[in-house]
Amino acid sequence: MVSANREMVVFCFDTLVAHYNSEEAPPPAFDEGQHPLFVTWKKVVNGGEPRLRGCIGTLEARCLINGFKDYALTSALRDRRFPPIQAKELPCLECTVSILTDYETANNYFDWEVGKHGIIIEFTDDYNIRRSATYLPEVPAHEGWTKVEAIDSLMRKAGFSGPITESLRKRIKLTRYQSTLFTMHYSDYASYVKATRGAAPSIAGARLSNH
């Protein structure tokens, strides 16, 4: 059983730094494997609550090394909800990697636990359009949602804008899953790189300070 770990987050930061420098990232220090995975970037400003800056992943198993390489950049640069992360934002960033496990088909849309399970919903709306979306396990808990609030929010995330009825909720096919995750702030990444490689990360033409 592979768990999310520090080396995976370091590799995501390495991949983003290498992108800004038009270089190749150093080889990762974790073992290859195949798992569904997500990369989440948040931005911490003035010691406040971290705010989402990008989160993209795959619910299908991917080779971890190429998967984290792809999704570190996709979530940072191509999450349509946000403008691309710029190099100057690096010192404010926090990265979380998630590895998804224990997929189970739920009996109904209530058959999961807030804080324990991530959820994937699939449904066909009143216009016969198939829709699907997912929330990682930490999202409903962080938002303080009930199960119904999480489901309704997820239906909106799936692009459904019509009225949400109980009969529509009952048409949902819900898959629940669990995850392991590891989070690291840029300052911890920079300290780790300095300790293990002898020099802190740098970006060509950009000033990076932790202040």
CB 116 within 8 A of CB 102: no
CATH number at residue 117: 3.30.1490
Position 51 in a domain: yes
Is the domain of 161 the same as that of 85? no
What is residue 211's predicted lDDT score, i.e. its pLDDT?
A: 42
Position 205 in a domain: no
CA-CA distance, 115 to 97, in Å (whole number)? 17
Domain that residue 138 falls in: 110-171
Is the domain of 71 the same as that of 20? yes
Is the domain of 126 the same as that of 167? yes
Position 210 in a domain: no
The residue out of 171, 187, 205 marking a domain boundary is 171
Is the domain of 11 the same as that of 85? yes
Is the domain of 74 the same as that of 25? yes
What is residue 39's predicted lDDT score, i.e. its pLDDT?
A: 98
Position 209 in a domain: no
Position 21 in a domain: yes
Is the domain of 141 the same as that of 37? no
Is the domain of 183 the same as that of 117? no
Position 47 in a domain: yes
Is the domain of 48 the same as that of 127? no
CA-CA distance, 164 to 152, in Å (whole number)? 7
Position 48 in a domain: yes
What is residue 173's predicted lDDT score, i.e. its pLDDT?
A: 98
Q: Which long-range contacts (CB under 8 A, 24 or more apart) does 2-5 make?
A: 2/31, 2/33, 2/35, 2/64, 2/99, 3/99, 3/180, 3/182, 4/97, 4/98, 4/99, 4/179, 4/180, 4/181, 4/182, 5/30, 5/182
CA-CA distance, 208 to 211, in Å (whole number)? 9
What is residue 209's predicted lDDT score, i.e. its pLDDT?
A: 52
Position 10 in a domain: yes
Domain count, the chain: 2
Per-residue pLDDT of the chain (211 residues; tens, 9 = 90+): 789 999 999 999 999 999 999 999 999 999 999 999 999 999 998 889 999 999 999 999 999 999 999 999 999 999 999 999 999 999 999 999 999 999 999 999 999 999 999 999 999 998 899 999 999 999 999 999 999 999 999 999 999 999 999 999 999 999 999 999 999 999 999 999 999 999 989 887 665 654 4
CATH number at residue 39: 3.30.700.20
Is the domain of 21 the same as that of 86? yes
Is the domain of 96 the same as that of 184? yes
Is the domain of 94 the same as that of 121? no
Is the domain of 66 the same as that of 132? no
CB 163 within 8 A of CB 108: no
